[in-house]
Amino acid sequence: MADKKELRIGLIGCGFMGRTHTNGYKRVNDFFPEVEYRPVLKTVCARTEEKVRAFADQWQYESIETDWREVVARDDIDAVDICTPNSTHEEIAVAAAEAGKMVLCEKPLARDVEEGQRMVDAIEKAGVPNTVWYNYRRVPAVSLIKDIIDSGKLGRIFHYRANFLQDFTINPDVPQGGEALWRLDKEVAGSGVTGDLLAHCIDTAMWLNGGIRDVSAVAETFVKERMHQETGKEEKVEIDDACIFHCHFDNGSLGLFEATRYARGHKALYTLEINGENASLRWDLHDMNRLEFFDYEDDPEVRGWSSIHVTEGEQPYMDKWWVPGLSIGYEHTFVHQVADFLSSLAEGEPCSPTFREAQETQKVCEAILDSASSGSWKETGVDWS
């Protein structure tokens, strides 16, 4: 370890994502010994001192801060990792880039395209390494889909279908705003399921199947008013509780996407399916190490959907973990992204998705919301070339 270069991390936000990223930093050198960098947990920041101190003790950060500006100003920090609610991403990322820090930012990049563009401009002006945590790309089975599509096995692609279904806001007594429930507050989140769930589906979809050209969407807010945790008053709910859109991809295929927080019984059912002229692929987050594959080239006597357990050393990332047949989980996707980020630093290459790529997803999200409110098709303006 002594021969590795240090990458001194300043983590901002110590909630759900703060934990997944920290786990990634702690595990990466154990399982990816070839990476040339060693993350150092230099400081963690959140607004409440007691809370951030407990987090720092548990996860072994060297120091704490309660104002992110202090993290950005410190000269012993190389990379700022943004794990805070969406409304804070722009201000922190722009300041960090201007201070010459590398920036790793949680998704969605921003609340809207305008904010996202200012972030891309600041990052590119500073010329600092950057990435956005669209981690589902780094599920081995999803990475394998990418390899299979790129090999040409599917032939021409006709359909791309994705769902992201949850049920945690059905109860009208669930408040909006504040800790944990900032996702229901439009001012903080920017949008509802579109920026939260569809953004993941869109990033994966464009990575696998190319740019989305235009969209037609419907969205609904099923519970119109909720108590706001910060004001204690009933306030209008302005986020989209559910959103469905269809689209054209640049390659001529059709897309169909649905996200909701009102699908009773579903907690995080992210599924996707791709149908090509020669073969189809299907994946489900609840069985994330499995990939279903139908190949029309197979002998008709035995042709059918096969179920591939993606745990072989020849499959993406799996040579780093256990022995064939043994599964890995959600947390490993973040270890993979840390490993890829560190490798990209050593190679002087961008780590995809960059801010610029994440901004293309932002454009699709904005076109979806525009389409849903206007009732008409919208061009996305995406450039995925």
Ligand X SMILES: NC(=O)c1ccc[n+]([C@@H]2O[C@H](COP(=O)([O-])OP(=O)(O)OC[C@H]3O[C@@H](n4cnc5c(N)ncnc54)[C@H](O)[C@@H]3O)[C@@H](O)[C@H]2O)c1
Distance CA 376, CA 362 (A): 19
Residues found in the chain: 385
Give me the phi and psi of 274, to 5 degrees please. -130, 130
Among 22, 29, 43, 84, binds ligand X (CB under 6 A): 84
Please identify, among the stretches 43-51, 109-117, 226-234, 239-247, the one whose residues bind ligand X according to the rule CB under 6 A: 43-51
Distance CA 9, CA 28 (A): 14
Over the range 112-121, which residues count as b (16 or more CB within 10 Å of their CB) and which as e?
A: bbebbbebbe
Neighbouring-strand partners of residue 273:
161, 282
Decide if residue 83 touches ligand X (CB under 6 A): yes
Decide if residue 13 touches ligand X (CB under 6 A): yes
Among 61, 68, 160, 164, binds ligand X (CB under 6 A): 68
Q: How far is the CB of 329 from ligand X (least distance, A)?
A: 13
Decide if residue 85 touches ligand X (CB under 6 A): yes
Residue, CB closest to ligand X: 15
Among 5, 47, 156, 267, binds ligand X (CB under 6 A): 47
Q: How far is the CB of 217 from ligand X (least distance, A)?
A: 20
Distance CA 3, CA 140 (A): 29
Distance CA 359, CA 113 (A): 7
Neighbouring-strand partners of residue 38:
6
Decide if residue 353 touches ligand X (CB under 6 A): no
Decide if residue 236 touches ligand X (CB under 6 A): no
Q: Which is nearer to ligand X, 84 or 209 (CB)?
A: 84
Angstrom CA distances, 220 to 189, 262, 334, stand at 16, 11, 32
Decide if residue 337 touches ligand X (CB under 6 A): no
Interface characters, 126-145, with ligand X (x: CB under 6 A): -------x-x----------
Rule CB under 6 A: which residues touch ligand X?
Answer: 12-18, 45-47, 68, 83-86, 88, 106-107, 133, 135, 180
